[in-house]
A and B are shown apart, each in its own frame.
Chain A
Amino acid sequence: MATSSAYPPPPPFYRLYKDYEQDPSSAPEPPPPIDGKYTVFGAEHEINQVLPSLESQGVRQLYPKGPNIDFKKELRTLNRELQLHILELADILVERPSQYARRVEDISLIFQNLHHLLNSLRPHQARATLIHMLESQIQRRKQAIEDIKQRREEAQKLLGESLLVLDGSQTN
Chain B
Amino acid sequence: MDIITQLQEQLSEIAMVAVNTFGTLQRDAPPDRLSSSYPDPLNPNPKPEEDAKPQVPAQPGAAPAPAQAQPPAPPQPPALDLAEHPKAMSHALVLAAKKFDALVAALPLSSEDDQLRRIQELQAENEVVGLELQKQLEAAELELKQVEVLFNEATDNCINLKKPD
With A and B bound together, what is the CA distance between A94 and B122 in angstroms? 60
Question: CB of A54 within 8 A of chain B?
Answer: no
CB-contacts of A132-164 with B (<8 A): 134-135, 137-138, 141-142, 144-145, 148-149, 151-152, 155, 159
Contact with B along A53-71 (1 / 0, CB 8 A): 0000000000000001001
Taking a contact as CB atoms under 8 Å apart, the answer to whether A111 and B137 are in contact is no
CB-contacts of B3-61 with A (<8 A): 4, 7-8, 11, 14-15, 18, 22, 26
Taking a contact as CB atoms under 8 Å apart, the answer to whether A118 and B7 are in contact is yes
Beta-carbon nearest neighbor of B2 in chain A: A125
Given contacts A127-B119, A138-B129, contact A148 B4 (CB under 8 A): no
Beta-carbon nearest neighbor of B107 in chain A: A72
Interface of A is mostly: helix
Q: Count residues of chain B with CB under 8 A from any CB of chain A.
A: 41
With A and B bound together, what is the CA distance between A11 and B117 in angstroms? 44
The residue from B15, B93, B126, B136 contacting A134, defined by CB atoms under 8 A apart:
B126
The residue from A76, A82, A89 contacting B22, defined by CB atoms under 8 A apart:
A89
Given contacts A131-B119, A138-B129, contact A125 B139 (CB under 8 A): no
Beta-carbon nearest neighbor of A86 in chain B: B18
The range of chain A's interface size is 35 or more
Question: CB of B104 within 8 A of chain A?
Answer: yes
- Please name all residues of chain A whose beta carbon is closer than 8 Å to the beta carbon of B125 when the two chains form the complex: 138
Beta-carbon nearest neighbor of A93 in chain B: B22
Taking a contact as CB atoms under 8 Å apart, the answer to whether B7 and A127 are in contact is no
CB-contacts of B111-143 with A (<8 A): 111-112, 115-116, 118-119, 122-123, 125-126, 129-130, 132-133, 136-137, 139-140, 143
Taking a contact as CB atoms under 8 Å apart, the answer to whether B133 and A144 are in contact is yes
Question: CB of A45 within 8 A of chain B?
Answer: no
Closest Cβ–Cβ distance, residue B79 to chain A (whole Å): 19
Taking a contact as CB atoms under 8 Å apart, the answer to whether A79 and B140 are in contact is no
Contact with A along B88-106 (1 / 0, CB 8 A): 0000011001001100110
Write the residues of chain B forming the contact surface with A, with a CB cutoff of 8 angstroms. 2, 4, 7-8, 11, 14-15, 18, 22, 26, 93-94, 97, 100-101, 104-105, 107-112, 115-116, 118-119, 122-123, 125-126, 129-130, 132-133, 136-137, 139-140, 143, 147
Q: Mind listing 13 A-B residue pairs with CB under 8 Å?
A: A82-B14, A89-B22, A93-B22, A121-B107, A125-B2, A125-B4, A131-B115, A131-B118, A134-B126, A135-B122, A138-B129, A141-B133, A155-B147
